[in-house]
Each structure stands twice: as C-alpha cells, then as structure tokens.
Amino acid sequence: MSHLEGRVDIRGLSIVLGEQQQAFEAVKALDCRIEPGQFVCILGPSGCGKSTLLGALAGHLTPSQGTLEMDGRPIAGPSQQRGMVFQQHTLFPWRSVRENVAFGLKMR
C-alpha cells in the first residue's frame, strides 16, 4: 500500500488580524489533526475564523502562534500542493475570462 499524502497538523494555532487598536484574535489556540482522505467540514457563525483558518492552511496568512504542518512540513506560504477558493471573486478586471483562467498556469 502506498503512503497517503495530505495529513494536516494544527497545534496551538492562533491568528491575530488587524493592527494596534483594531487587532483581534480571529483563531485562538486551535489543535486539530486531519488524516489523509478524511472529509472535514468547518462550521460556525459569521466571523468565527473559518475563512481565516483556511487562508492560513493555504499559506496566505501567517499564524501569530502555533504551528501548521502538511505531511510533517511547515506551511510557510502558498504552494502548488494546496489551493483555496475565495468567497469573493478574485478576477483581474483588466483580463479576459480566458486570461483569468490561464493565469494560474502561467504562474506555474
């Protein structure tokens, strides 16, 4: 049997967003392990940190404390191994639909 990839380890994860007086802790002291092939659903009310957690897992946000690892390696920025579908559109308005779709391939 081959080794399955995709294990996610989250230990003591806290993420602070905003600066100075506007700073707030969006994720606080989260511990979680997701095994390869496991289906996980993150539920919670608006503003509880779901998108913030996903942004950190995709490598777009840096944790304030704790560690995020995938297959035993720290998540230290975006990677071709992980992706994220944003809630709001993220198209480049100056590009055509075809150019927006092709952008990821060009970056690769």
Please choose, from the candidates 2, 1, 31, 7, the residue with its C-alpha nearest in 3D space to the C-alpha of residue 81. 7
Model confidence at 56, pLDDT cuts 50, 70, 90, reads very high
Task: With respect to residue 61, please indicate whether it lies within any of the assigned structural domains.
Answer: yes
Is the model's pLDDT at 40 over the cut of 90?
A: yes
Task: With respect to residue 72, please indicate whether it lies within any of the assigned structural domains.
Answer: yes
94: left (phi over 0), alpha (psi -120 to 50) or beta: alpha
Tell me what the mean pLDDT of segment 60-75 comes to. Answer: 95
Is the model's pLDDT at 3 over the cut of 90?
A: no
pTM for the model? 0.77
How many domains is the chain partitioned into structurally?
Answer: 1
Tell me what the mean pLDDT of segment 35-63 comes to. Answer: 93
Is the model's pLDDT at 5 over the cut of 70?
A: yes
Q: Give dist(CA 59, CA 83) in Å, integer.
A: 9
The CATH number that applies at residue 18 is 3.40.50.300
Q: What is the DSSP letter of 70?
A: E
Domain around 48: 1-76
CA distances to 5, 34, 40 from 37, rounded to whole Å, are: 8, 8, 9
Q: Give dist(CA 32, CA 42) in Å, integer.
A: 12
The number of CA neighbours under 13 Å toward the Cβ of 5 is 4
